[in-house]
Structure 1
Amino acid sequence: MALGKITVNALNLNQGPFPTVEKYFLFIGVGATNPNTLLFLNSDSNLDTELGVADSEIKRQVKAAKANAGQNWACCAIPVADGTLWAPAVDLAMNNNVKVEAIVICTPVAAQADLTAMHTKAEEINTTYGRRLFFIAAAEAIDPTPSTGQTWSAYITALTALTTTLAAMRVSIVPYIYDDAVGIYAGRLCNYQTSVADTPMRVNTGSIIGQDQSTLPTDKDGIIYNNAHAKALNDQRFSVPQFYPDYEGVYWTDGQTLDAAIGDYTVIENLRVVDKAARAVRLVLISLVGDRRFNSSPIGTAWAISKLMRPLFEMSRSYDFQGIPFPAELKSPVDGDIAIQWVTRTQVQIFIKARPSEIPKDLTANIVLDLSAPAQ
């Protein structure tokens, strides 16, 4: 007669929260204090201690990011002696298991090849570590020196050479219209009033912090930067400050990337929202490796789809408060948004649809008169 046996197993259903890297950026730029050192900063950090009392390229951008990101901001930074040699600093961070959403290179690029190198590095990091990130690059400021400096026309023409013909969707480039413009842009992307699905163009979260219309630069002829210059730079895929006549404050244009003209990722919010979903989906896929509960049977397929739906559901939690909508990062997934194809007994292809909400960027109102006779 068999002996009785009791076994109790604690099963792991992998229901823990997904780790987040969103709104956590790495800054690399010239600074004399703590050179080649990986620094971890947040809104409580004393930047004079960490990055030096004196002004520096990296401190200026980190300070602007801190101001524009607001509460709960955090980042990491690596001061270097030569900002054009940023690749070893990136490797230092990656080798120290630093996970970030974006890498901000504070030193202006000199040629299109520098932007290509950033895109290549982003792809290499994804290949090596499975870490999806993008770069924010800087472009030179205008030379306003009378007589020998640049006009806005010459400046914009010179910058155009950086982006013409280039396809690099994991790079967003910001010219130094303000001397801390890169930090302002990075801070707006990290502001916790917004999500990764929001555009830095958003006016409702307020004007940029630390600069205003009185500090807009001039060219060699004394002409002040205006929206015509903003449009010309925006048309060349740069992200720059803009403002609205008779509306106080300075705001931002689209957060453009250097994706090809008809690409899905020409604006930063599209890239960020898909990257966030992809990071979570990757972890789900890892947990499914070798799990025979995921099979081609109807119940096995339904179970796998429910696991893969979880990141989409978590990114689609919207709510409203007293008639004010607070939209989620994605629209709620529906049946058919995930499809599974078994190529062989062991190889699976999975297709996932992520649907972000619409964003109003070009608004037109039409007003008509009602001259009909009053109702009797």
Structure 2
Amino acid sequence: MALGKVSVNNLNLSQGAVTEVEKYFLFIGTGSKSQGQVLAINTDSDLDVMLGIPASDLKTQITAARLNGGENWACLAVPMAADGTWQTALTKALQLNYSFEAIVICTAVASGGELSAMHDAALSLNNSMGRRAFVIAASESIAPTMTWADYLAEQKAITDDLLAPRVLCVPQLHGNDLGVLAGRLANSAVSIADSPMRVATGALAGLGPVPQDKDGVPLDSSVRSELDKSRFSVSQTYTDYPGVYWGDGNMLDAPGSDFQVIEYLRIVDKAARQVRPLLIRRVADRRLNSSANSMATNKTFFMTPLRAMAKSTTFAGQVFPGEIESPADNAIVLTWKSKTEIEVYISVKPLNCPKALTANIALDLSTTATE
């Protein structure tokens, strides 16, 4: 014999959104106030109150970032003393459990070893905490005693034979280039899949004065071109077109790598951040098993973030594309390595985007027939 029972359970199907950290950057640099504190800053913040009235590396770059970041811009900042280290500041932010997409280090580097250490720190974040971040670093502007040839030789020595795929280095030619680029990358009006080269985003705002070498020769396109070849990220201009824009966001990666520009790294990192919580939800969950139905169902489950990233919007007759192409059926493959271990292979495909455009114009000298 038995008595009747009724139970109602709430089932969590993992259909909610994953918290996004994209376009939220951590700035680290010297400052006269709030040293060692982690500050949340947005467009309404009074930088004189938070960072001190005197000018500082940190304040200069955040001012430029805010100007280029748009109305929804926000960041974290850790001011440090002149003898402080970015490693200590980064550790402080991590201890307080802050998450961010990029680490912007305002103190200029003078050697490839310093950039390599920044890359190691970014790798450590992923290895120890499962967090993905890239570093935006700075190198010095030209010294008053240098010619442009001297400066190029000095800068090229920094990146020669350097492999640091999670680091992007910006020469501080105008004094605030680092902040300008950081703001451009964090602007909510554009996608993480957009290159900072995108002209439709608008010209750079608040860029400092054009530098000159010791002979009074101003910065020109040939210097920028050589810096770009050495994998630095620099501003650029177009002849007879007003405004100053940006070039590629060059990562210090190896030739032939998939991640030589920032937009490719950002979309893959976002996909990884979105998929990771879904993988955690499936630990020891027998809904993921080797049956044909389970494999098909879970392929769809893990593909959910990719479909969201690929979603486009049509407005006023124009299509605003998603961050990636719509995933094909074979974009995700599940492979069982043993009875208790599975590997998920995910393909993320960026859309084609023109960075070099050529128009070919021909003269038509044909005779129009008269009627």
- Tell me if both proteins adopt one fold, taking TM over 0.5 as the criterion: yes
Give the counterpart letter for 2:295 in structure 1. T
Q: Does 1:53 align with 2:49?
A: no
C-alpha displacement at 1:306, in angstroms?
1.1
Distance 2:262 2:126 in 1: 18
- Give yes or no for contact 2:192–2:323 (8 Å, CA) kept in 1: yes
Query: What is the aligned partner in structure 1 of residue 86 from structure 2?
Result: 86
- Give yes or no for contact 1:84–1:109 (8 Å, CA) kept in 2: no
Distance 2:53 2:77 in 1: 16
Distance 2:319 2:149 in 1: 43
Partner of residue 310 from structure 1, selected from 304, 309, 319: 304
Query: What is the aligned partner in structure 2 of residue 335 from structure 1?
Result: 329
Residue 299 of structure 2 aligns to a residue in which SS?
helix
Query: What is the aligned partner in structure 2 of residue 186 from structure 1?
Result: 182
Distance 1:31 1:73 in 2: 21
Residue 143 of structure 2 aligns to a residue in which SS?
coil
Structure 1 residues without counterparts, runs of 5 or longer: none
Cα deviation 1:226-263 (Å, max 9, x = unaligned): 11111010000001111011111100110000011111
Q: Does 1:154 align with 2:150?
A: yes
How many aligned residue pairs are there? Answer: 370
Distance 2:354 2:277 in 1: 33
Distance 1:94 1:107 in 2: 20
Partner of residue 205 from structure 1, selected from 180, 185, 201: 201
Residue 164 of structure 2 aligns to a residue in which SS?
coil
Distance 2:97 2:139 in 1: 29
C-alpha displacement at 1:319, in angstroms?
1.8
- Give yes or no for contact 1:257–1:265 (8 Å, CA) kept in 2: yes
Distance 2:158 2:165 in 1: 14
Q: Does 1:264 align with 2:251?
A: no
Cα deviation 1:172-229 (Å, max 9, x = unaligned): 00000111110001000001111110000111111101137xx211111101101111
Query: What is the aligned partner in structure 2 of residue 165 from structure 1?
Result: 161
Q: Does 1:239 align with 2:230?
A: no
- Give yes or no for contact 2:64–2:207 (8 Å, CA) kept in 1: no
C-alpha displacement at 1:369, in angstroms?
2.4
Equivalent positions of 1:100-115 (< 5 A) are 100-115=100-115
Query: What is the aligned partner in structure 2 of residue 26 from structure 1?
Result: 26
C-alpha displacement at 1:284, in angstroms?
0.7
4+ residue stretches of structure 1 with deviation over 2 A?
Answer: 369-376
Q: Does 1:66 align with 2:66?
A: yes
Structure 2 residues without counterparts, runs of 5 or longer: none
C-alpha displacement at 1:82, in angstroms?
3.1
C-alpha displacement at 1:84, in angstroms?
6.7
Query: What is the aligned partner in structure 2 of residue 75 from structure 1?
Result: 75
C-alpha displacement at 1:371, in angstroms?
2.8
Distance 1:192 1:122 in 2: 24
Identity of aligned residues (%): 48
Query: What is the aligned partner in structure 2 of residue 326 from structure 1?
Result: 320
C-alpha displacement at 1:4, in angstroms?
1.3
Residue 94 of structure 1 aligns to a residue in which SS?
helix
Cα deviation 1:254-310 (Å, max 9, x = unaligned): 000001111100000000110000001111100111110101111110111111001
Q: Does 1:228 align with 2:227?
A: no
CA RMSD of aligned residues (A): 1.1
- Give yes or no for contact 2:177–2:207 (8 Å, CA) kept in 1: no
C-alpha displacement at 1:323, in angstroms?
2.6
Distance 1:84 1:178 in 2: 25
Cα deviation 1:4-50 (Å, max 9, x = unaligned): 11111110011111110000000000111111111110111111100
